[in-house]
Every structure is written in structure tokens, then in C-alpha cells.
Amino acid sequence: MASTPDTPFGQYIDYLIQRHGTMGRVAAKIPMSLSAFSRGVSEGTLSVENCLRLADAVGDDPGKILRLGGKQSIAAVVDRLTAKTNETLSRRWVTFAKQLQGADPDSQDVFEMLLRIVVNKQRELGAAPTFDDSAPLHPLEVYRLARGLSFGALAQKISAAAGFPRSADCIRKICLGQTRAQGPTAWAVDKFLSDEKAGE
């Protein structure tokens, strides 16, 4: 039978074992093998992802579990996230969420867990976040997200089509609505989108 160390984290795991029956059942919620979970608890080597998965599975505060697992700096970040109230997710955050669609599945799972934890915490406080979709995405950003392009890659494509260079920072600001394309840049963007639409 796996034993837990005489540490705050070990004592917390003992509490979970009392609730769920065995350490194996607790480990399965992450999910992890019993040996890997027991070793991680004993040696204090559970990853941030596994700590978050544990918090999500047992419905406990992620910051607390991260601190118990020795991840104090990440716990502080999560605490700041879950402490925010009355937040509306801006178009920039909606864009960021869409960018995650191109990330690997493990990264998507971690971000999904973090967002769910934040939303649940804010619901407890009576201030669940909402999406602000009143301002539509710039057509250039729609194009970029649909193709999974970085701002740099998109800038290179626009520069090639226009025949003169446009920086990645310039294109990023246009995509995120932080500035309006003007002069030669506006012409380059319009030409690029027109050519791409004609080629579809």
C-alpha cells in the first residue's frame, strides 16, 4: 500500500484518500498511475499540469494545491487570475482563445482547465466573465486564425504580395485592432486580402 510523506502535501493527500477511498482512486482522477502519483507526492515532483488536473478533479482551490506541490510562483499567478471579478473578456482574449485551437492537445487541456477554474471561481463570487463580441475581428485576423499563421508569417506573405516590407509588429496591431492600416499599409492589406479571396 502506498504511503504519504509527513508533509503538508502528504497530509492533504491523506485527506483526499479518506474522501475517495484509496490513493489509486485519487491518482486515477488526474489521471496518473499509482506509482507515478505516489512518487510525485513523496518527492514533491508533481508537475504544474498534474496539480491543476488534481484541483479540477477534486474541486479544490488550484492555488492551494499548487503551493502544497511546491509551485509557489505559479500559485501566485493563479491566485491573481481567480481573484479578478467583474471581468469581461476582451476581443484580444477571444483572439487568444482562438489561437489556442492551433496548440497541441496537452496545452489546450491545461489552458481549458485554467479557464474553467477561473470561471468557476468567479461564478462563486457572482461575477462570471462574459465574451465581448460586439466588435468584429479584422478580416486580416480572421484570415490569420483560419490558417494558423503567426504574425511574422502573415507579415511576410503581405510583404511578398505588396512588393515592400511590412513588419510583424505592424501587422499584429492591425489584426488586434490596436491601430488602423493607413497609406501604403492599408493598400497592401487590401490588395493581399483581395488577391487571396480571388484565389480561393
**Where residue 178 falls among pLDDT bands split at 50, 70, 90?**
confident
Position 86 pLDDT exceeds 50: no
Q: How far apart are CA 140 and CA 147, in angstroms?
A: 11
- Torsion angle of the four alpha carbons 30, 78, 103, 136, in this order, in degrees rounded to the nearest 10: 130
In a domain, 1, yes or no: no
pLDDT of residue 97: 63
Domain count of the fold of the chain: 3
Peptide bond into 31 cis (omega under 30): yes
Domain limits at 168? 139-199
pLDDT of residue 156: 92
Q: How far apart are CA 67 and CA 57, in angstroms?
A: 17
Do 75 and 13 lie in one domain? The reply is yes
**Where residue 99 falls among pLDDT bands split at 50, 70, 90?**
low
3, 41 in Cβ contact below 8 A?
Answer: no
Position 181 pLDDT exceeds 80: yes
Which of 97, 131, 165 is at the close of a domain? Answer: 131
In a domain, 193, yes or no: yes
Residue pLDDT, tens place only, 112-129 = 667 666 666 666 665 544
Closest CA to 51 of 33, 67, 28, 35: 67
Position 166 pLDDT exceeds 70: yes
Q: What is the chain's mean pLDDT, rounded?
A: 78
In a domain, 108, yes or no: yes
Residue pLDDT, tens place only, 14-58 = 889 988 888 999 999 888 999 999 999 888 888 988 998 898 888
- Beta-carbon count within 10 A of 183 CB: 7
Do 152 and 123 lie in one domain? The reply is no
Instruction: Spell 103-119 as b/e; 16+ CB within 10 A means b.
Output: eeeeeeebeebbbebbe
Which of 83, 99, 119 is at the close of a domain? Answer: 83
Do 69 and 49 lie in one domain? The reply is yes
Do 120 and 158 lie in one domain? The reply is no
Longest CA–CA separation in the chain, Å: 72
Alpha helix locations (H) across the chain? 8-20, 23-28, 34-43, 48-58, 62-68, 72-83, 91-99, 105-124, 139-147, 151-162, 168-175, 183-199
CATH number (domain holding residue 29): 1.10.260
Do 79 and 16 lie in one domain? The reply is yes
CA distances from 3 to 34, 44, 105, 156 (A): 11, 14, 33, 57
